[in-house]
Amino acid sequence: MKKLLAALVLSLTVFVGRAQECGTEPAPQYILDALERLNLPALVAARTEDDTIIYVPIQMHLIRSDAGTAALSEADLFTAICTMNVRYTDAKIQFYITDQIFYYDNSTILNASDGNSISSLMSANNKPYVMNIYFTNLGQRGLNGYAWYPNSGPGSGVRQGGAVMSYSAVMNGATLSHETGHYLSLPHPFDGTSNNPLMGERVTRNFNETPPRLPANCYNAGDRFCDTKADKRGARWGCTYSPAAGDTDLNGDFFWPDSSLLMSYAGDACRIRLTDEQMAACRSTLQTPNDRGYLTFLPRPVQPSINSAPVLTLPANGATGLHPNFTTFAWDPVPGATIYRLRALSNGVVVDLDTIIRGGQTSYFHGHNKLRPNRSYQWEVTAYNETDFCGNPTSTRSTFQTTNFTATSVDEGFFADLQVFPTLLERNGSIYLQGESLNGKRLQLELRNMTGQLLRSENLQLEGDAHFHTELNTSGVYYLTIRHEGYRIVRKLVVQ
């Protein structure tokens, strides 16, 4: 818990509220009907007595630029989920991550001006039995995030819907928890009232008002909760509400919305909580098979908490003369760790490398995001696993120095672990490409004959291995050029 709070304080001090909105549609009628059917007082009492924590797995999907860059690191996203865990602690709902992170390097989708491309992506890639969260840039659409209520959105069944978060809003401490609230059936407190305050939810909580005053309707209007104050404010506001003269309901009572409610449109800095009835409704959604009950289908991994920091081994502390473009980092395994974050800071300040290494691997070949030549570097590693990723201890920093950038030797080094075989081919033969450090990357291939004439070109995504059909029917000598991020190597091929 101490670690969770540390993560929370960190996230709040860095980002303060932005006035962008939530793009979630008003709750559909079947959601409102389902909320009305809940016996909320009984569920609230049950939650208080029931100490069972409901664990929800999260699949993170990161949309990045064509070049593979994103506005936040994966570790920042871990921190945001840690903050959400603080927000949902009283609800006895906790989120954990899956080891795998899905990446989509596509600038068009990243900066899309409508939701079509991301919805298509969700239809195709949503994983079953988890909460699918897509991180992208919603700046073009003026949105912080949006989500789908149960039984709506792209995909179907146990992989339907999810949440979409704008990178700019991930660290504000409120938006992710807010969108997750929608995903778990919570409407905005102003739903149905902001567009018609006179006919919406009334301010009074007295069910036996004396006529002509009208009684409370909070279980059948607005968000269907009586412990969230009636709210008519459907646009972003701050942390202090100042009602205008006409901000009254049918009884003439002033609306005084509660800025502490996560589901409201108050400022991000003050939106911090769910009410008892909202928590009970979220739990009910997770306990109802036809809503989000499938999220509890997968067994939560049994993992120890991470109690120690990694010990760095390579490059040796104080090493000099390292090549900026292909440095291998290594550290000793930490018990229980399946995920590591590696950061390298040039001159101890500028973050040139910040990456997540999954699958329990304890080394990383740095061949893509180039380190700078002639710099002193500090680097560090933090260990995580799927259930313990909040405020974990980071290694002592180690130092190394890079040497000059030597253009003549760079290209071969960049492709150091790329295997290209066979180079002695039958006619019409295929060539296989394999290389761990380039896995998931797009390679451009060009096949030329001895006079330099271009015969074939192809873009290949390296996934495990890839093959390239030469379609060469004539024996002779050919040259295959392989390019990636401005580097290239050439391999000579002989067709028998």
Applying CB under 5 A, the residues found at the interface with Zn ion are 22, 24
Write down the least CB distance from residue 411 to Zn ion, Å. Answer: 50
Cβ atoms of 148 and 160 closer than 8 Å = yes
Write down the least CB distance from residue 145 to Zn ion, Å. Answer: 8
Number of residue whose CB is nearest Zn ion: 22
Directed axis angle between helix 276-287 and helix 40-49, to 10°? 80
Cβ atoms of 400 and 321 closer than 8 Å = no
**Distance between the two ends of the chain, CA-based, in angstroms?**
67
Write down the least CB distance from residue 178 to Zn ion, Å. Answer: 5
The residue (of 22 and 110) whose beta carbon lies closer to Zn ion is 22
The residue (of 22 and 43) whose beta carbon lies closer to Zn ion is 22
Q: At 476, is the secondary structure helix, strand, or coil?
A: strand
Directed axis angle between helix 74-87 and helix 175-183, to 10°? 70
The residue (of 24 and 85) whose beta carbon lies closer to Zn ion is 24
The residue (of 181 and 315) whose beta carbon lies closer to Zn ion is 181
The two tokens of residue 376 are 């002193």
Write down the least CB distance from residue 188 to Zn ion, Å. Answer: 5
Write down the least CB distance from residue 112 to Zn ion, Å. Answer: 20
DSSP H helical ranges for 50-128 = 74-87, 107-110, 116-125
Write down the least CB distance from residue 332 to Zn ion, Å. Answer: 45
Residue 465 neighbours by CB under 8 Å, 6+ apart:
432, 433, 434
Q: Residue 113 burial (CB < 10 Å; 0-12/13-18/19+)?
A: exposed
Write down the least CB distance from residue 167 to Zn ion, Å. Answer: 18
The residue (of 265 and 389) whose beta carbon lies closer to Zn ion is 265
The residue (of 22 and 34) whose beta carbon lies closer to Zn ion is 22
Nearest to 32 by CA among 296, 281, 283, 290: 281
Distance between CA atoms of 97 and 132, rounded to whole angstroms? Answer: 10
Nearest to 76 by CA among 288, 355, 350: 355
Phi, psi of 405 (to 5 degrees): -75, 120
The residue (of 24 and 338) whose beta carbon lies closer to Zn ion is 24
Write down the least CB distance from residue 281 to Zn ion, Å. Answer: 15
The residue (of 118 and 445) whose beta carbon lies closer to Zn ion is 118
Write down the least CB distance from residue 146 to Zn ion, Å. Answer: 7
What 8-state DSSP symbol labels residue 328?
Answer: E
Write down the least CB distance from residue 147 to Zn ion, Å. Answer: 7
Phi, psi of 212 (to 5 degrees): -80, 0
Residues in the chain: 496
Pairing of strands 327-331, 350-357: unpaired
The residue (of 165 and 371) whose beta carbon lies closer to Zn ion is 165
Write down the least CB distance from residue 249 to Zn ion, Å. Answer: 22
Distance between CA atoms of 419 and 415, rounded to whole angstroms? Answer: 9
Phi, psi of 164 (to 5 degrees): -120, 125
The residue (of 142 and 422) whose beta carbon lies closer to Zn ion is 142
The residue (of 19 and 67) whose beta carbon lies closer to Zn ion is 19
Distance between CA atoms of 201 and 102, rounded to whole angstroms? Answer: 42
AA identity, residue 152: S
The residue (of 264 and 382) whose beta carbon lies closer to Zn ion is 264
Write down the least CB distance from residue 24 to Zn ion, Å. Answer: 4
Farthest-apart Cα atoms in the chain, separation: 99
Cβ atoms of 314 and 328 closer than 8 Å = yes
**Helix or strand run (H / E) with residue 56:** strand 54-64
Cβ atoms of 46 and 54 closer than 8 Å = no
